[in-house]
Amino acid sequence: MTTPTDLLNAELRADGARPFLTFYDDSTGERVELSVATTANWVAKTANYLEEHGVEEGIVVSVRLPLHWQTAIIILATWAAGGIVSFSADGDLSFAGEEDAGGDCHVLTFEPMGADFSRLVATQPDQFVPTAPTGDDVLAATATDLPHGARVLTTIGYDVPGGLGYALIGPLAVSGSAVLVRHPDPARLSAHAEAERVSHTLGVTVPGYPRLD
């Protein structure tokens, strides 16, 4: 069956230069744009890191992180490495933000431009060859009914119903992209939507754009 890793590789072959993930943090003014190729590179490095730390088929990776491009990368890398993504505290390997840190987990502080994340995985190889990628069950059960090339602006996390489908897997399946807005400022959302040529929104209403939820 098709996995999210298969979708990412297909998009990389089709047009690696196009934007896939665009991240805004309205509390800091940060904006980060990742092309399909850049996303795939981060996923490869992170999957190598996960494999080095024992992630393989059946291993549960707990992802207790807010909406962020790094969260998307860790989810995609977990599937590439053969792991199972969990949004609960129970996992063989855990990632959490500072506010949810506790016990034995990898804490991400979301430094500007991914500086802390880079220190974690940057030395890993740029290529990763999946042997038993997972996520096909999630893909099969997830809404991907988006039009071709859809660009979805979302303010909800991937642990919220619809988050994975409409702001990660769905865009991968239809050659689209996701615009992730953390700490959204209502006064800026229309400008974000216009600048990023958004087609739909998720988790927030922006006048003039259809809302998926």
**What are residue 122's phi and psi, to 5 degrees?**
-60, -30
Structural domain contains residue 211:
no
Structural domain contains residue 192:
yes
The pLDDT value given to residue 161: 84
The pLDDT value given to residue 14: 96
What's the chain's average pLDDT? Answer: 93
Whole-angstrom Cα distance, residue 186 to residue 153? 13
Whole-angstrom Cα distance, residue 130 to residue 58? 14
Taking a C-beta distance cutoff of 8 angstroms, is the pair 151, 196 a contact? yes
Structural domain contains residue 210:
no
Structural domain contains residue 183:
yes
pTM of the model: 0.96
> Which CATH number characterizes residue 51's domain?
3.40.50.12780
Instruction: Using DSSP bridges, classify how beta strands 106-108 and 84-86 pair: parallel, antiparallel or unpaired.
Output: unpaired
Structural domain contains residue 155:
yes
11-45 pLDDT, tens digit each: 999 999 999 999 999 999 999 999 999 999 999 99
Whole-angstrom Cα distance, residue 158 to residue 65? 9
- The token duo for 211 is 């809302």
- The token duo for 19 is 């934007």
Structural domain contains residue 212:
no
List alpha helices for the chain, DSSP H: 4-15, 36-52, 69-81, 115-121, 136-141, 163-164, 170-173, 186-195
Q: How confident is the model at residue 97 (pLDDT cuts 50, 70, 90)?
A: confident
Q: Which residues constitute the domain of residue 135?
A: 4-202
